[in-house]
Chain A
């Protein structure tokens, strides 16, 4: 593997190689990438690995639909949300749901850097900002 590219550019390429057909991180591919990096000089290896980790974390966030809900939300509704947002983002999203009583009511969804606020707590916070 040539080191002509900067560590960041190389890490980006390695990240693309680590993703499976479904757009999710493939552990087997990640393992293969780590093994391929072993022969390289320590300082380059560290820089590439740090950048690689950073980009993988970004990809992980982008591949994950985090659903926070205040009340009960059944598996069918969650699956419906997952399918809807997978279609919106053009990739298969992994669902992570948890209860968050601080929301008071409603939902908060996050995919990567995007947050969709449909909770009572969010609206009250928006009202407070508007009034201040």
Chain B
């Protein structure tokens, strides 16, 4: 009770004694989540407009005779003639660590039934991306825990890596694995007490998804213990297009808080195709001119201004933004946007737009998925423009040739289909390549630790799996992982602490692999 009284006293003290000025307009038409208003002569672009019943909208169309505004929230009670007034402020969302573990809607309100979120700060949803000078080059790895990604398409902190593929090819699974892996690494690192350890906090933005899918994702994260380091921003398919349009920007604002405070964050936009569709709907209702595929002319800008906000900031900029509170620490926001293609067409409008914005893509193929190669990553079409700059040295030592070997294997496999006699070297390359493909198969929601990946890659490169039948490789990789985790934990720890495979460590790994090979049947 005393808290409520204090709050009222604070609000009374804040009230100005002079007059307040507001600019008003009246609703002329209201349909499909968009209101056209008469008046509002002083409204600014993107300004919040307040309607009766505590409903807010955002002014998006400033025309000579009317204002077009998208309504956020339930507008069923609004009618023609209702007054809308300017608020003088831009849309902001709550930010901070208090949001971790929570599920919020597109404007930051909690929807998980766990009570209000106590934050002291809020960030504007629309913000200009950092310029050139505040940025620092990306050279810290972001381990997804997916072997084919970490070895051949490595992602760095501050990078934008697109995940693109047809429906049901495992795009969301890759993103969720990455989030779970960050949480696993966070728990180990924070428990170790290492002052240099930098946790990565995750934000998952669900745009236009089915509620059942979002619920399943939340359950998977809770089961893996990853929710305590994750924020979920949900704008499901049942939500109005305005919320679906805003959700990625709201999530980005939450991620920017971590970046600007010298911490690291990962944000997943699932998916930007539905985001573009929601924006198309809003634009068409606002009668904006439509272009290719009925998308508005600024659909590229829709995604470019979102993705440019993911960056790595240098320590000087972080210190300036925090007024000196955080010194000597960079901050980063890594973005994993997801795009759904139709029939594998990466040359369609939205996919090509986002490919040209991001720093690489992970391309998933339906054919590979149906062949049982999961994650169904097409190594030939996938790329990371940051590359090995975002890999630890141990990884570079073992993964350097993997992509080339796989490319050679694919070429030879196509040739071998004709059934001609093959020489011993070709057969050996085919066998090795097939084993690498089997090794890269990984169940969903089971990310692998970095040191385990290093051991597995070293093992396959050095023929440890050559005597094992192809169909047993998956079982063998599980077995060798278990062997190292339970009996050679010290070796794994050395890989982490040293960060590279010295001659002595390589000998240790080799000895352990030989020991395992003797016991595996």
Give A contacts to B, CB under 8 Å.
8, 54, 107, 109, 112-118, 122-123, 126-127, 129-132
Residues in chain B near residue A54, CB distance under 8 A: 65
Instruction: Note all chain A residues with C-beta closer than 8 A to B39.
Output: 112-113
Smallest CB–CB gap between B168 and chain A, Å? 43
Stretch at the interface among B7-15, B234-242, B306-314: B7-15
A17 to B54, CA, bound (A): 41
B370 to chain A, nearest CB (A): 53
Chain A residues lying within 8 Å of B14, measured Cβ to Cβ, are 130
B252 within 8 A of A: no
| B15 adjacent to A123 (CB under 8 Å) | yes
Contact B11 A115 (CB under 8 A): no
Is B22's CB under 8 angstroms from A117's CB? yes
Of the candidates A114, A126, A132, the one whose C-beta lies within 8 Å of that of B42 is: A114
Residues of B1-53 contacting chain A, CB below 8 A: 7-8, 11-12, 14-15, 18-25, 39-42, 50
Q: In chain A, what residue has the closest Cβ to B8?
A: A131
Q: Determine if A126 and B15 form an interchain contact, defined as CB atoms under 8 angstroms apart.
A: yes
* Given A116-B20, A117-B20, 9 other A-B residues pairs in contact with their CB atoms under 8 A: A8-B65, A54-B65, A113-B23, A113-B24, A113-B25, A115-B21, A116-B21, A130-B11, A131-B11
Among candidates B18, B20, B21, B54, residue contacting A132 with C-beta atoms closer than 8 Å: B54
A33 to chain B minimum Cβ distance, whole angstroms, is 19
16 pairs, A vs B, C-beta closer than 8 Å: A54-B65, A112-B39, A112-B41, A113-B39, A113-B40, A114-B22, A114-B41, A116-B20, A116-B21, A117-B20, A118-B19, A118-B20, A126-B20, A127-B12, A129-B50, A131-B7
Q: Are A114 and B20 in contact (CB under 8 A)?
A: no
- Docked complex Cα distance between A132 and B54 (Å): 9
The answer to whether A113 and B42 touch across the interface, beta carbons within 8 angstroms, is yes
> In the complex, which residues of chain A have a beta carbon less than 8 angstroms from the beta carbon of B20?
116-118, 122, 126
Query: Which of A113, A114, A118, A130 counts the most B-chain CB atoms under 10 A from its CB?
Result: A113
CB distance from B382 to the nearest CB of A (A): 49
When chains A and B are docked, how far (Å) is the Cα of A118 from the Cα of B11? 17
User: Does B19 lie within 8 Å of A117, measured CB to CB?
Assistant: yes
Of all chain B residues, the one with the shortest Cβ separation from A61 is B39
Q: From residue A131, how far is it (CB to closest CB) to chain B in Å?
A: 6
Q: Which residue of B lies closest to A117 (CB)?
A: B20
Give A10 Cβ to nearest chain B Cβ, in Å.
14
Contacting residues, chain A, for B25 (C-beta < 8 A): 113
Q: Which residues of A contact B19 (CB under 8 A)?
A: 107, 109, 116-118
Chain A, Cβ-Cβ closest to B10: A130
Contacts of A122 in B (CB 8 A): 20
Q: How far is B53's CA from A132's CA once the two chains are assembled, in angstroms?
A: 11
Of all chain A residues, the one with the shortest Cβ separation from B7 is: A131
Q: In the docked arrangement, what's the CA distance between A116 and B40, Å? A: 14
* Chain A residues closer than 8 Å to B8, beta-carbon distance: 127, 131
Min C-beta distance of A132 to chain B, whole Å: 6
- B41 contacts A115, C-beta separation under 8 Å: no
Residues of B within 8 A of A132 (CB): 54
Task: Give the complex CA separation of A132 and B15 in angstroms.
Answer: 15
Q: Are A115 and B22 in contact (CB under 8 A)?
A: yes
User: Would you list the 4 A-B pairs with minimal beta carbon distance, nearest first?
Assistant: A118-B19, A113-B39, A113-B41, A117-B20
Contacts of A129 in B (CB 8 A): 50, 54
Question: In the bound complex, how far is the Cα of B288 from the Cα of A107, in angstroms?
Answer: 41
* Cα separation A30 to B25 with both chains bound (whole Å): 26
In the complex, what's the smallest C-beta–C-beta distance from A23 to chain B, in angstroms? Answer: 16
Bound state CA distance, A126 and B87, in angstroms?
A: 12
A2 CB, nearest partner CB in chain B, Å = 21
In the complex, A112→B23 CA distance in Å? 9
Q: How far is the CB of A68 from chain B (nearest CB, A)?
A: 13
Given the complex of chains A and B, what is the CA–CA distance between A54 and B21 in angstroms?
A: 25
A122-B21 Cα distance, complex, nearest whole Å = 11
Distance to closest chain B CB from A6 (angstroms):
11
Contacts of A112 in B (CB 8 A): 39, 41
Check if B15 sits within 8 Å of A127, measured CB to CB.
yes
Q: Let me know if A118 and B18 touch, CB within 8 A.
A: yes
Chain B residues 199-221 with CB under 8 Å of chain A are none
**Cα of A59 to Cα of B24 in the assembled complex, Å:** 15
Residue of B18, B20, B85 contacting most chain A CB atoms (<10 Å): B20
How long is the Cα–Cα vector from A87 to B83 in the complex, in angstroms? 27
Separation of A116 and B8 alpha carbons in the complex (Å):
24
Closest to B85 in A: A115
Bound state CA distance, A112 and B26, in angstroms?
12
A54 to B66, CA, bound (A): 12
A122 to B7, CA, bound (A): 19
Q: What distance in Å separates the Cβ of A81 from its nearest Cβ neighbour in chain B?
A: 12
Q: Roughly how many angstroms separate A109 CA and B22 CA in the complex, as a whole number?
A: 11
